[in-house]
């Protein structure tokens, strides 16, 4: 009986220790989120950023956000308007051009509920390689501002149900926590994106340009000759050695009565 009671008490003590560790991890996570001043939440749906290979042979890189960014800034949502000055009148306002969407987002890179002991160098290396890649990136599992393009009716590059591509214009990392090996275990990452409409544009190929007016027939071969019955042509080039003569101007003679 004494041995059973001792084993039960040991099990209870172990359960209390596990509960205390979980509470400490949750408290540290809240404290870290408050320190870095980044509004994030633990991952609920898988939010991903992946590259879209445009060059043959390039592989696909995919990054899964451990903490989904909440505060995302969207810019250039409206076209650019300019003032056209009119002398003696008020300026006229007209649309100059449409602008590309720019996105800025911040998120926390860390291992959820691990006590901030595991290094995140692999995550940071992956993000850096995606930023330096020549391929655009796309997002899944986030809001429609990042996944669905806004089609402008006046433009010809609109495609229904088309994917939305971005280029990483800027990437910055700020380390927040380190372990005993001085490895980064938590970092605040900021990414600036710019819309890439080239992936939706249609490229039209034009035929080669010919100049038929510059080709004139010179002589026609006689039937039965070695050269055959086809016409021979030569390219006429402008003669720049000849000078153009000035037009002659005739001045009418005036009579004495007209001169008076």
Residue 244: pLDDT band with limits 50, 70, 90? low
Over residues 27-36, the mean pLDDT reads 59
Distance CA 69, CA 189 (A): 10
Question: What CATH number was assigned to the domain covering residues 38-199?
Answer: 2.40.30.200
CA dihedral 120, 125, 131, 136 (to 10 degrees): -90
Over residues 51-55, the mean pLDDT reads 82
Distance CA 255, CA 218 (A): 54
Residue 52: pLDDT band with limits 50, 70, 90? confident
Of 41-50, 167-176, 181-190, 219-228, least confident by mean pLDDT is 219-228
Number of other residues whose CB lies within 10 A of the CB of residue 187? 21
Distance CA 61, CA 164 (A): 17
Q: What is the pLDDT of residue 149?
A: 78
CA angle 131, 132, 133 (to 5 degrees): 95
Q: What is the pLDDT of residue 121?
A: 93
122-132 pLDDT, tens digit per residue, is 999 999 999 99
- In angstroms, the Cα distances linking 32 to 75, 98, 175, 258 are 29, 41, 12, 105
């Amino acid at each position: 009986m004494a041995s059973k009671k001792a084993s039960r008490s040991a099990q209870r003590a172990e359960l209390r220790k596990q509960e205390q560790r979980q509470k400490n991890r949750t408290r540290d996570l809240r404290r870290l989120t408050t320190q870095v001043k980044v509004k994030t939440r633990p991952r609920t749906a898988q939010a991903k950023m992946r590259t879209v290979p445009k060059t043959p042979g390039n592989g696909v890189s995919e990054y899964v956000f451990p903490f989904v960014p909440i505060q995302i800034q969207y810019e250039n949502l409206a076209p650019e308007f300019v003032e056209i000055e009119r002398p003696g009148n008020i300026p006229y306002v007209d649309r100059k051009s449409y602008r590309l969407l720019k996105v800025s987002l911040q998120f926390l890179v860390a291992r959820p509920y691990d006590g901030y002991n595991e290094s995140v160098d692999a995550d940071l290396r992956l993000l850096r390689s995606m930023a330096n890649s020549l391929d655009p990136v796309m997002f899944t599992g986030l809001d429609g501002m990042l996944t669905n393009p806004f089609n402008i009716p006046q433009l010809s590059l609109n495609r229904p149900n088309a994917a939305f591509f971005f280029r990483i214009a800027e990437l910055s990392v700020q380390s927040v926590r380190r372990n005993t090996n001085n490895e980064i275990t938590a970092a605040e990452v900021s990414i600036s994106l710019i819309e890439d409409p080239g992936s939706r544009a249609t490229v039209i190929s034009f035929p080669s340009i010919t100049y038929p007016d510059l080709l004139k027939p010179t002589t026609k071969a006689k039937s039965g000759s070695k050269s055959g019955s086809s016409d021979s042509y030569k390219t006429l080039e402008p003669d720049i050695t000849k000078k153009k003569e000035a037009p002659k101007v005739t001045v009418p003679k005036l009579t004495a009565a007209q001169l008076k």
